[in-house]
Structure 1
Amino acid sequence: MVHTQEAAPGATPRFADAAVTFDDVLAELARRRAEFREQRYVPKDFVDRLKQTGLYRAATPAKFGGEPLPPAEFLDRIERISAVDGSTGWVASFGSALIYLAALPVETQAKIYRDGPDVAFAGGLFPIQAAEPTDSGFRVDGHWKFASGCMGADILGVGIPGDESTAGKPRTALLRPDQVEIVQNWDVVGMRGTGSFDLVVRDVEVPREWTFIRGGEPTVDEPLYRYPVIAYAAQVLAVVGAGVARAALDHAEEVGSGYAGVTGAPKLADRPYYRAEVAAAEAALRSARAWFYELSNEVWETVVAGDPATDEQNAHLRLASAHLARTASEVVGRLVEISGTAPIYRDHPLQLLLGDALVPKQHAFLGPAMYDAAGAVLMGLPPTTPGFR
């Protein structure tokens, strides 16, 4: 079943190719998601399908032909994809990653977008690998992990150290796919189809103007690039968890009236604890989701008005993202717990969704440390986590 998620407040549909509707792409995804899970990555032909919906121009500067979306609109799209397949939602979420590239020199950006605004960027940014400075740039050589979506990417990034000019923040060096070896070693219990493989680069010189500071000052003055960059990166991952939890709730509500245990016990929907837990899970997810989108719209209005997002707004965005990821994972876990023995089977829908829901919550941008860092900022203290803003 393809779930139609209610649109985020203020969302208006836009498509790069008017002949391709978002629902067409979701229907195709529902047919192919098992294929992606089995091969462990979303292939380039389907990334091209996502491009037709405008997802990979949603963070391209308008000056280069992009159609930048307000974050809440983009997040709503990612949530709807994730309700069909979390892995594809995770890969599609990196359509937002072009906000990082806004820190590149304008001339470099013009070269990136010269063939069109639909660009898929993927990166293996950690662990940071040493890069020898050269007269014109950096000599890159190393091995990086977690390059989600790399199999369908048009351009790849790897993490290298910063220097005095970056205030200690690391750089990302950009490379063509033919300069990078992809090691297909992704073997996980959740988000199996993200293709978060390792990247290996051997002795490639990258010009300085093809590197950027992650979260660095943008060289393009458009509203989207004034929205907090790292907070947005956390949001696009958290909302994947929300989509996965939505799929789990849809499943629980649909099968509750039809599933009876092998012992002859009442149908799930006839059991008071099942009804109560499904209702509580529904309330928890919708509440976390509403706060998440409310904050995104509030911060967007601030930056569109020409004002910078405040430290408190950034902290709230980070906190709401961590809370949504945690809530989504807990929702799926609760549904598994009340669903009898059926979910113990490896191919049961809830078992697959349980693994997918775990991944956003475990991400460094969304883990327990975010609560401490957000709390510190809200009480007037410095954030306790590096890269919080």
Structure 2
Amino acid sequence: MLHSAVSESRLDNHPSATAAACADSHTSADVFNQVLAEIRARREEFDAKRHVPKDMVARLKQIGVYRAATPRCFGGDARSPSDFLRLIETISEADGSAGWVASFGSAAVYLAALPRDTLARLYADGPDIAFAGGLFPIQPAQKADGGWRISGTWKFASGCKGADVLGVGIGTGNGGKPLTAVLRPEAVEIVENWEVIGLRGTGSHDLRIKDAFVADEWTFVRGGTPSIDEPLYRYPSIAYAAQVLAVVNLGVARAALDEVSVMAGGRSGITGAPKMADRAYLRIAVAKAEATLRSARAFFYDATDAAWDSILKGDAVSPEQTSLLRLSAVQAARAGAEAVQTAYLLAGTAAIYDGHPLQRYLRDAMVVTQHAFLGEGMYDGAGSVFLGVPPMPGYI
């Protein structure tokens, strides 16, 4: 099994150590490494365009990103959460924006709440479907015969310019849970307004719709009961949505600390000070950053594997396990950002220039921490569960 092979390799400490462990069964390690090299070579392009282009999304499909969470009954891989998270971590080490866009390959877990006949139509041409959603703010929709009439504007639709289908959040007006309506890109206007400091290549633009009709069978409750009975769709979907974003910072942090290691073996500074590796304070700081990052990473994958093992045994994932997934996700995001900040500070004046890799890592890592799923309130939710009091709504 891939999971056991990964856990026995250096991948536990360094995500890019074994490309074959992240590549799916359809992809060779050579092809996987070629795609990673292309991502590194094009990350400036992604920033300039403010999105990951469709031809790069096609390359991500080639290495199995967008079939990873597609049901096996529709030709997908339905890979374990740990396998997919390691895949995203490795892509994120090459580029945070590409990793963020690739992370939405997990959205097929959400889509599994669509009716089975709708899923058959969605995957009729193959399992490699890229989904992007601008789910908030929830917009009111008008009930129509057999569906809904939808208008409005939605924010933060990461990866929308390369998506095969798009989702938007709608309110039903009857007190029920909001729905996600699924549309083809031609029915949606992309408002290109992603002007940000970090994760520039994610293309997290607004979506705008004017009086579109969406049939009932193309709507679902996000995190709702799946119509597919396979192990992956018993994994807590909202917690998974937080995990696939948090893991981006584990990859970015790995890249940042590796960058400092390369710099440390170089020549002396312009002031004549010893080279970086000969400075005790720098060695201490790097060791502390590695310990913090690896500890958070171990907690992250331990919580993931514990929940998955419960599912494979036929047990439900407990509220306590779901809480640990949420807690480990926010901790991974924060520890990753802290490691990147440490690397930036240790690099000195070299890191202040636009073209230095640590500039990119710093900007990207700090944006990851700002996502609502990874905010400070997640610690409150986890603390509530530890102490036996009700957590905030939606936490579990």
TM-score range, shorter chain: over 0.9
Which residue identity is paired with 1:387? G
Q: What's 2:10 paired with? A: none
- How far the C-alpha of 1:6 sits from its partner, in A, is 4.1
- How far the C-alpha of 1:19 sits from its partner, in A, is 9.5
Contact 2:114/2:227 (CA < 8 Å) preserved in 1?
Answer: yes
Which residue identity is paired with 1:87? S
Query: Is the counterpart of residue 185 in structure 1 residue 201 in structure 2?
Result: no
- 1:96-107 matches, cutoff 5 A: 96-107=106-117
Among 251, 256, 262, which residue is 1:254 paired with?
A: 262
Query: Is the counterpart of residue 75 in structure 1 residue 85 in structure 2?
Result: yes
Contact 2:191/2:208 (CA < 8 Å) preserved in 1?
Answer: yes
- How far the C-alpha of 1:261 sits from its partner, in A, is 2.8
Which residue identity is paired with 2:285? E
Query: Is the counterpart of residue 329 in structure 1 residue 329 in structure 2?
Result: no
| Structure 1 alignment gaps of length 5 or more | none
Contact 2:296/2:332 (CA < 8 Å) preserved in 1?
Answer: yes
Q: What's 1:175 paired with? A: 183
Q: What's 1:90 paired with? A: 100
Q: What's 1:51 paired with? A: 61
Which residue identity is paired with 1:148? S
- 1:309-388 matches, cutoff 5 A: 309-384=317-392, 386-388=393-395
Supply the distance in 2 between the matched residues of 1:162 and 1:375 (Cα, whole angstroms): 33
Q: What's 2:3 paired with? A: none
Contact 1:20/1:52 (CA < 8 Å) preserved in 2?
Answer: no
Contact 1:16/1:51 (CA < 8 Å) preserved in 2?
Answer: no
Which structure has greater helix proportion? 2
Provide Cα deviations, 1:144-189, integer angstroms capped at 9, x if missing partner.
110000111000001111455xx74221111100001111111111
Supply the distance in 1 between the matched residues of 2:303 and 2:18 (Cα, whole angstroms): 15
Among 288, 305, 313, which residue is 1:305 paired with?
A: 313
Q: 1:12 to 1:380 in 2, by over 3 A?
A: same
- How far the C-alpha of 1:317 sits from its partner, in A, is 0.4
Query: Is the counterpart of residue 156 in structure 1 residue 163 in structure 2?
Result: no
Q: 1:220 to 1:163 in 2, by over 3 A?
A: farther
Higher mean displacement: 15-24 or 216-225: 15-24
SS in structure 2 at match of 1:326 = helix
Supply the distance in 2 between the matched residues of 1:219 and 1:379 (Cα, whole angstroms): 34
Q: What's 1:212 paired with? A: 220
Supply the distance in 1 between the matched residues of 2:193 and 2:269 (Cα, whole angstroms): 39
Supply the distance in 2 between the matched residues of 1:45 and 1:313 (Cα, whole angstroms): 38
Contact 2:15/2:86 (CA < 8 Å) preserved in 1?
Answer: no
Q: What's 2:45 paired with? A: 35
- How far the C-alpha of 1:20 sits from its partner, in A, is 6.8
Q: 1:42 to 1:381 in 2, by over 3 A?
A: same
Provide Cα deviations, 1:228-281, integer angstroms capped at 9, x if missing partner.
001111110010000000000000011112153322222221211111111111
RMSD between superposed Cα atoms in Å = 1.8
Among 116, 123, 128, which residue is 1:118 paired with?
A: 128
Supply the distance in 2 between the matched residues of 1:259 and 1:251 (Cα, whole angstroms): 15
Supply the distance in 2 between the matched residues of 1:151 and 1:268 (Cα, whole angstroms): 42
- How far the C-alpha of 1:52 sits from its partner, in A, is 1.0
Contact 2:23/2:63 (CA < 8 Å) preserved in 1?
Answer: no
Contact 1:15/1:21 (CA < 8 Å) preserved in 2?
Answer: no
Q: What is the aligned residue count? A: 383
Q: What's 2:292 paired with? A: 284
Which residue identity is paired with 1:76? R
- How far the C-alpha of 1:61 sits from its partner, in A, is 0.8
SS in structure 2 at match of 1:309 = coil
Supply the distance in 2 between the matched residues of 1:20 and 1:54 (Cα, whole angstroms): 14
Higher mean displacement: 45-54 or 345-354: 345-354
Among 6, 16, 33, which residue is 1:5 paired with?
A: 16
Supply the distance in 1 between the matched residues of 2:339 and 2:122 (Cα, whole angstroms): 41
Q: After TM superposition, what 4+ stretches of structure 1 lie above 6 angstroms from structure 2? A: none
- How far the C-alpha of 1:32 sits from its partner, in A, is 1.3
Supply the distance in 1 between the matched residues of 2:18 and 2:178 (Cα, whole angstroms): 36
Higher mean displacement: 356-365 or 18-27: 18-27
| Structure 2 alignment gaps of length 5 or more | 1-13
Work out the percentage of aligned pairs sharing the same amino acid. Answer: 58
SS in structure 2 at match of 1:262 = coil
Which residue identity is paired with 2:197? V
Q: 1:259 to 1:365 in 2, by over 3 A?
A: farther
Supply the distance in 1 between the matched residues of 2:338 and 2:219 (Cα, whole angstroms): 39
TM, length-normalised to structure 1: 0.95
Supply the distance in 1 between the matched residues of 2:312 and 2:383 (Cα, whole angstroms): 26
Query: Is the counterpart of residue 134 in structure 1 residue 144 in structure 2?
Result: yes
Contact 1:102/1:218 (CA < 8 Å) preserved in 2?
Answer: yes
Among 241, 247, 252, which residue is 1:239 paired with?
A: 247
Supply the distance in 1 between the matched residues of 2:83 and 2:101 (Cα, whole angstroms): 17
Contact 1:15/1:53 (CA < 8 Å) preserved in 2?
Answer: no
TM, length-normalised to structure 2: 0.93
Contact 2:88/2:248 (CA < 8 Å) preserved in 1?
Answer: yes
